[in-house]
Amino acid sequence: MADYKEIVGTRVKAVSANPSDPSDGQVWYNSTDEALKYKKANAGGAWSSGGNLNTGRSSGGMFGPQTAAIYFGGRLAPGPGAQDIVESYNGSSWTEVGDLNEAKDETAGAGTSTAGLAFGGEPTTANVESWNGSSWTETTNMNTAKDYHSNAGTQTSALAFGGEDPGGLTAKTESWNGSAWTEVNDLNTGRDQGGSAGTDNTSALMFMGDTVGNGTATDKTEQWNGSSWTEVGDLNTSGRFGAGCGTSTLAMAMGRYHPSSSNWDLCEHWNGSSWSEVADLALGRYFTPSHGGTQGAGLLAGGQAGPGGPNKQNTEEFSSVFQITPE
């Protein structure tokens, strides 16, 4: 079994007092208390309203944290299909910025508000665009065109997995190193319309989605360790078209489509082995994108709140209550 250093890259630090502002998931040894401690999000937390998108859309892509995110592409409903619109969020309001070179929806991305990637999308494409904070540049294509896929990582270390390719549902995973895409090991079960989390191409989480291809929602979760996928603990409630954020060990599932509309607002936290329900969204919805926020600072924008209904402009921000364990 891998130890902490092999997983994280550093040894656990020994300190005489708890850090003043530890990051979510940080581990340390408190020599005064003679205890190994870590910071985690507890079951507390709540959603609050953020600034509305200028243009309500669904099935777009998003990357970046809660206070500095980019929402790109998507589709209008009612109205024309795939869009090239891009908006930047500063934690309180959205501003339109440079358009994509190619309009797309059912897309995904990775990165930050100043260095990101948009890859794949509908119309089914392998095209990839790179964002520098003001404009988009076409870069190396993925090996396989896909849409409704899932995403994780940064502009230089990303993953694209699952989705639909020209042959239907796919289990394929591609890893990006900053210059080229490489096919790596497949998901155990091909699916599209899933939520995801992950910080780079060595660790990711995929959950929800459709594993059959007929609109049937799943509760299955798979975890990526840099070389292979492993099935892990199921969600409490199945869904598809939901969003995610966080890491492969501390993630959040936000909203989802489910046959019962009472489940559209459900949110769950992942602790590395199991899911637990947390505060519901104020507006239940789906067709929302996963992004690079943390488990304790989620962001949800746009989407639909009913079949065939108009797209939403609403943005919600999740703030978790953190605790140091053991106290």
pLDDT confidence of residue 44: 66
Domains and CATH numbers, the chain: 4-40 (no CATH), 46-322 (2.120.10.80)
Q: In which residue are the tokens 């104020």 written?
A: 282
For residue 148, give the nearest of 84, 34, 242 by alpha carbon: 242
pLDDT per position as a tens digit, 269-316: 999 999 999 999 999 999 999 998 899 999 999 999 988 878 999 999
Residue 278's φ and ψ, nearest 5 degrees, are -125, -170
H/E element, 169: strand 168-169
Buried/exposed code over 96-106 (b: 16+ C-beta within 10 A; e: otherwise)? ebeebebbbbb
State the pLDDT at residue 29: 84
pTM: 0.87
Residue 55: phi, psi to the nearest 5?
-125, 115
Give the chain's residues under pLDDT 50. Answer: none
Quote the pLDDT of residue 77: 82
Q: Which amino acid is at 16?
A: S
Residues 6+ apart with CB under 8 A from 1: none
* Bridging pattern class, strands 69-72 and 86-89: antiparallel
pLDDT for residue 30? 82
Cβ neighbours of residue 174 closer than 8 Å, sequence gap 6 or more = 142, 143, 144, 159, 160, 161, 181, 182, 183, 184
179-188 pLDDT, tens digit per residue, is 999 999 999 9
